[in-house]
Amino acid sequence: MEDYDDSLRQWVPGDDVVAHNGDPLPEDLDFFADPPEEIGEVHTAWSTLTDGKAPWGVMLRLIFAAMLGGASFLALFLLFHFVFDWSPLVSGLGAVIGSAVVGVVTIIATGFRGACTYVGEAGIARLVFKGERTDVETELLFLFDEAAELRTSQTVNYTNGVYTGTNYNFVWSAANQKKVATLQGSYHSENGTPAAKDPYCFAQAAENAWSQQYLDHAQAELEKSGAISFALTGKDKVRVGPGFIELIQGGKKDRLDADDVQEVSLHDGQFTVKRVGAKSGFLGIGKSGIFTFNYSQMANARVFLLAIDMLVGLQVN
């Protein structure tokens, strides 16, 4: 490998910058590109590149690929010929194709690459390079002013009762519902959030920064109309104002003052608002005073949680 030169590091985070999950930044992270000025003061950051990590030389990559390819050829030939009982010619052709694929994949996998992600007060960015660390591309640059709302969702997957991973989706949209930015993927951490290096932490930090910035808009809306609106689907929405919650669903409007609310809860991705004296009915028949809506369908749901607490004085259970 080539010697690492720490003078190549482009950006040094301040003491107030932390990892995307809130942990202190490891000292060996190599931020090979400056964060874009447009995103403002950086609050969280991460880099997949670390001090001492340098590219493999071309010859070393070729030798390694040839070794794996050769081993793959032998293993595949024996498998095809003695297990599948293919002829020597067909087994050889199959082994050649398979080993070639292994070689190409090895060359690609040993390529030098890195990614820096930044979350600032005004937006987020992801900068990457493939091959030369000086050949940096801005893969993502999203400024919060470009969007009007954020919807998030998480799906926990199980197969035969065994946890197999969690899918997540963070989608920012403009006022016309056009998507302007998306962070999605999956992670494997049944209990709690994944490690700081996981891209999910970048998405979560982006949501936190967006929500903080959106509070200014929410305050302006509150002063102008007396409540903050949170869109659901279609024309449905929830409005939160000083001492009340107003639910507009299916063309019907229900207003609940703080004293009228028995409970606000969030379970399995669904909000439930219960009026005092609510009835659940039998299998949903005869239900009254109970209002439900999905977390994933609500715009700016994290701000909704803050509004319920600050304006209505209720804690979401």
Inform me whether the pLDDT recorded for 195 exceeds 80: yes
| Least confident piece of the model among 99-108, 143-152, 300-309 | 99-108
Task: Name the more confident of 151 and 107.
Answer: 151
Task: Name the more confident of 272 and 9.
Answer: 272
Question: Six-digit token pair at 273?
Answer: 């608002």
Q: Average the pLDDT over 104-113 and give the result.
A: 68
Residues 40 and 166 in one domain: yes
| Least confident piece of the model among 14-23, 61-70, 212-221, 254-263 | 61-70
Q: What are the CB-based long-range contacts (under 8 Å, 24+) for 101-104?
A: 102/65, 102/68, 102/69, 102/72, 103/65, 103/66, 103/68, 103/69, 103/72, 104/65
Q: Which structural domain range is residue 70 located in?
A: 58-109
Q: Which of 109, 144, 175 is the last residue of a domain?
A: 109
Total domain count, the chain: 3
* Domain membership flag for residue 19: yes
Percentage of the chain exceeding pLDDT 70: 90
Residues 233 and 93 in one domain: no
Residue 91 corresponds to which amino acid? Answer: S
C-alpha angle 255/261/262, rounded to 5°? 155
Instruction: Give Cα separations from 32 to 5, 113, 114, 130, 139 (angstroms).
Output: 12, 11, 8, 12, 14
* Domain membership flag for residue 93: yes
pLDDT in tens, 248-304: 999 999 999 999 999 999 998 999 999 998 887 665 555 688 999 999 999 999 999
* Domain membership flag for residue 219: no
Residues 196 and 183 in one domain: yes
Q: Which of 144, 179, 212 is the last residue of a domain?
A: 212
Q: Do 206 and 120 meet the contact criterion of CB atoms below 8 Å apart?
A: no
Residues 29 and 149 in one domain: yes
Cα–Cα distance, 144 to 173 (Å, whole number)? 10
Which residues lie below 8 Å from residue 176, measured CB to CB, with a gap of 6+? none
pTM over 0.75: yes
| Least confident piece of the model among 11-15, 56-60, 101-105 | 56-60
pLDDT at 268: 87
Inform me whether the pLDDT recorded for 151 exceeds 90: yes
